[in-house]
Structure 1
């Protein structure tokens, strides 16, 4: 969802300032304008005009339903876990860009290997659109937490690299169409 809707917060809520990544708390009753609701998180602008991200777990503060991931395959084998990991990463969005990190070309690798604990370890190599992006740790955490919650996953390592550096050529055709870059 991409649009503009003014909402009075129904309770105090923790948020993250965009693009710095600085945590902050917004009080109950604060008026925010919904900018983007993609991947289960909400990008809003505050009364002061600051852009912040509110986690999907706090959807009730906005009077919204929490997100659900309904299109995952069942199974604990490595192939299914890898497919589901890619699906999870397709739900992670840069809060300023209405395109998921997979279509943006930020994910370079996702590998699944057997883990000594009996499940599977998932290793992701990704980058950011800019090395100094304050939201980088937040996006990395979104990927890690999303994959960690998959059945059969016992360990997750999300590595952020800057070589090769990200460029617009890494975006999928879908992303370029969404952003009008043709």
Structure 2
């Protein structure tokens, strides 16, 4: 496995995480405002990215799907950003529609949502 050799920026992490799509809404987790923060540490095999993320509902049954997509987005492919990825699921502050980016709002409107 190829490991990342440089510390990824928050912009690079966000760009990669745009490939992670909320399975219920069909919008990426960055534009939905589900990624609160990202930390990068140096592990024995390379960079370790830890994400502070939330979900639209604490009862969401699809955390495994989102976690698998995030792992692929950050540690997979020909140029992985990290050797390892972890998610801290956080519930404070609670997610709300105010966290959705302008791009996310446009995508939701295109799907028929009123946001």
Query: Shorter-chain TM-score category?
Result: 0.7 to 0.9
Rounded to whole Å, the distance in 2 between the matches of 1:98 and 1:151 is 24
Do the aligned residues in 2 keep the contact of 1:144 with 1:158 (CA within 8 Å)?
Answer: no
User: What is the TM-score when the length of structure 2 is the normalising length?
Assistant: 0.78
Matches within 5 A, 1:1-182: 76-79=5-8, 82-115=10-43, 117-149=44-76, 150-151=79-80, 153-180=82-109, 181-182=114-115
C-alpha deviation, 1:154, in angstroms? 2.5
Moved over 6 A (4+): none
Rounded to whole Å, the distance in 1 between the matches of 2:103 and 2:38 is 20
Do the aligned residues in 2 keep the contact of 1:76 with 1:151 (CA within 8 Å)?
Answer: no
Which sections of structure 1, spanning at least 5 residues, go unmatched?
A: 1-74
Q: Which has the larger share of strand?
A: 1
Instruction: Render the CA deviation track for 1:20-64: whole Å, top value 9, x for unaligned.
Output: xxxxxxxxxxxxxxxxxxxxxxxxxxxxxxxxxxxxxxxxxxxxx
User: What is the TM-score when the length of structure 1 is the normalising length?
Assistant: 0.52
Q: Which has the larger share of helix?
A: 2
Equivalent residue pairs, number: 106
Rounded to whole Å, the distance in 2 between the matches of 1:88 and 1:169 is 22
Rounded to whole Å, the distance in 1 between the matches of 2:68 and 2:88 is 11
Which sections of structure 2, spanning at least 5 residues, go unmatched?
A: none
Do the aligned residues in 2 keep the contact of 1:119 with 1:152 (CA within 8 Å)?
Answer: no
